[in-house]
Chain A
Amino acid sequence: MAGKLTVVIAQSPGKNPVKRQLEESLAAALLFEPGIEVSLVPHLYDLTPDHTGMLFLKSVRGDMVVLSWLFPRAARWIMDRSGVKGQAGVSLLKPAAEEDDEDEENDHGDESAADAESRPDALGAWEVPNRKVYCIDLRDKADVEVYLEEIRRIAREGSVQTVDLMGWIQGSPAPEQLQRYLNPRVSSGAEVAPSTSGNGDGNGAGNSIADEPTRRRWYPVIDYSRCTNCMECIDFCLFGVYGVDAGERILVEQQDNCKKGCPACSRVCPENAIIFPEHKTPAIAGSETGTAAGLKIDLSKLFGAPTAIEQAVLERDQELVADGREAVGMAVGIPKRRDHAPQTRDALDDLMDGLDDLAL
């Protein structure tokens, strides 16, 4: 048998009673599921890296299911940025609308594509431990039972994989190694986050992790399975949100420099890799496909929609003026490769960039 599967319910930011009800029913039901340990944390996006909720998530070493009111891509990369890493587990739950519209085969095709980190020139995640993190969107279904079914399925999937892995390493681990492997939880996790299992009165699910207050935040989240490190976001943003790490990889350095409501950098990103999880446009909020409307055509362009760049410039100017600075319009940081196909980078580009770096 594998260790326990950790299930984390990240609460909705508001106090919407319908959402609270789903969270609580789910938590209560999961308390009685064998092999599952359930915890509640506040809204993932609002957690600072040192919030007890995020510390708890970091302390979990084994497979984990995270249910949140966010698109799975958004949830995954929010956690990745805070050091909660893992391979993307594939949930079979799909938004209700998609299930109605598309045939099964299509659905599964999409999943495997998403799972395979499809873009060949993307940075990809790094330092990913050998465990799976499944992100599930609580907006997909209203029925608690559907989520329970899927969590049970994931728990079974996890135990099967463990057996496979044990066979594969062909080792004969010492008892304490085996113990560590089967119960990968570190003790500090239990300290910051008293487990709710064994507290079977059904009310215990609202434990202390969810109680530490959060404030509403707004910042970009980079999906590194799409990001090609093209640097157009850092060129475009004039508020000092972006930076690069020691390996010259783009990162969101100063999250809280970001201007609330402004998604401009997401619009200039040629790979659609920048997520604002709370933006009302699904493509910006991290939906897989971008169109919630399925097979209908989009006439927005016809009715006067600005291009993404025009929109981004409008939004940036608005924030600059609000800050008492001059609007810059199209004069600063406008992507140059915009009209070309997204994957125009080649070995020559890398070489040229390499030479530029040397000159510096």
Chain B
Amino acid sequence: MAGDLEFMMGKYAARIPGDRCYATNHMWLKTAGNRYRVGFTAYSVRLLQDVYFLNWSIDADSQVRAKQEIGEVESSKAVSSLYAPYDGRVTSFNEKLLNDPSMINTDGYESGWLYEFETSAELLSPAAYVDLVAAGWEKTQQVIKGQMNE
């Protein structure tokens, strides 16, 4: 799509669509009515690889603070807690993913969305997100290699 950006993770091109905003914790936020739909960016998904399991530790319609733990994800390569990107309210979850999270891998920018979120925080533009990813890429690779070698 026109206006999309790319970030090269080695030989893999992570697509960063131009039609939405981003958060520093590698989530996209796309306007849906008066709230946002939130999902993993292609960068996140590439690091996770196949998602096996998704679990939310808060109920739908919960007020959250930035960096509050809200759930966890397990994939073929990683296990991780998930955190709220900003202060706001998680209004609902994508129920379809709870039984079968594979849409995160196959259609992560559309039907693989994670939850709906209300926030008044200032979000990152696609270009700002690409800059952020580029700035952190060396370190991310080191972290991953470091953990793998432990």
Write the residues of chain A forming the contact surface with B, with a CB cutoff of 8 angstroms: 293, 296-306, 310-311, 314
Contacts and interface: CB of A to CB of B under 8 A. Distances in A.
Contacts of A306: 67, 83
Interface string B39-50: 000001001100
B83 A305 contact: yes
A344 B71 CA distance: 36
Contact of A298 (B27, B67, B79): B79
B24 A296 contact: no
Given A297-B144, A299-B48, A310-B67, A304 B85 contact: yes
A245 B148 CA distance: 42
Q: Majority SS of interface residues in chain B? A: mixed
Contacts of A299: 44, 47-48, 78, 80
By CB atoms of chain B within 10 A, which of A298, A302, A305, A314 has the most?
A302
Given A296-B77, A297-B77, A299-B80, A305 B44 contact: no
A304 B74 CA distance: 16
A303 B70 CA distance: 11
A310 B69 CA distance: 13
Contact of A297 (B24, B26, B44, B78): B78
B81 interface: yes
Contacts, number: 59
A51 B69 CA distance: 37
Interface residues of B, number: 27
Contacts of B148: 297
Contacts of B31: none
26 contacts: A293-B74, A293-B79, A296-B74, A296-B77, A296-B78, A296-B79, A297-B77, A297-B78, A297-B79, A297-B144, A297-B148, A299-B47, A299-B48, A299-B78, A300-B83, A302-B25, A302-B26, A302-B44, A302-B47, A302-B140, A303-B44, A303-B83, A304-B66, A304-B85, A305-B81, A314-B67
Given A297-B148, A303-B81, A304-B83, 14 more contacts: A296-B77, A297-B77, A297-B78, A297-B79, A297-B143, A297-B144, A298-B79, A298-B147, A299-B80, A300-B80, A304-B66, A304-B85, A305-B81, A306-B83
Contacts of A297: 77-79, 143-144, 147-148
A200 B144 CA distance: 57
B82 interface: yes
Contacts of A298: 78-80, 147
Nearest to B147: A297
B84 interface: yes
Contacts of A311: 67
B24 A304 contact: yes
A305 B85 CA distance: 10
Contacts of A304: 23-25, 66-67, 82-85
Closest 9 CB pairs of A and B: A304-B25, A304-B83, A299-B80, A293-B79, A306-B67, A297-B147, A296-B79, A300-B81, A300-B80
A299 to B, nearest CB: 4
Nearest to A295: B148
By CB atoms of chain B within 10 A, which of A301, A303, A310, A314 has the most?
A303
Contacts of B47: 299, 302
B132 to A, nearest CB: 11
Contact of A303 (B25, B66, B74, B144): B25
By CB atoms of chain A within 10 A, which of B27, B80, B148 has the most?
B80
A317 to B, nearest CB: 11
B118 to A, nearest CB: 18
Nearest to B81: A300
